[in-house]
Amino acid sequence: MNKRNSRRKVTFPNRHGQLLAGILETPAQTPHGFAIFASCFTCGKDVLVASRICRRLGELGISVLRFDFTGLGDSEGTFSATNFSSNVEDLKCAARFLRDEYQPATLLIGHSLGGAAVLAAAADLPEARAIATIAAPADPSHVLKQFPRALEAIKTDGHAEVQLSGRPFIIEQHFVADVSQPQKDMIQNLGRPLLIYHSPQDQVVSIREASALFERAQYPKSFICLDKADHMLSARKDAIYVADTLVAWAAPFLGT
Taking only the tens place, the pLDDT of each residue in 130-143 is 999 999 999 999 99
**Mean per-residue pLDDT, 209-233:** 96
- pTM, to two decimals: 0.96
Q: Is the pLDDT of residue 206 over 70?
A: yes
Quick one: pLDDT band at residue 256, thresholds 50, 70, 90? low
Residue 56 is predicted with a pLDDT of: 97
Q: Is the peptide bond before 126 cis (omega within 30 degrees of 0)?
A: no
Q: Is the pLDDT of residue 3 over 70?
A: no
Please identify, in words, the CATH class of the domain defined by 6-141+182-254. alpha beta
**Mean per-residue pLDDT, 167-186:** 90
Q: Is the pLDDT of residue 184 over 80?
A: no
Output the average pLDDT for the chain: 95
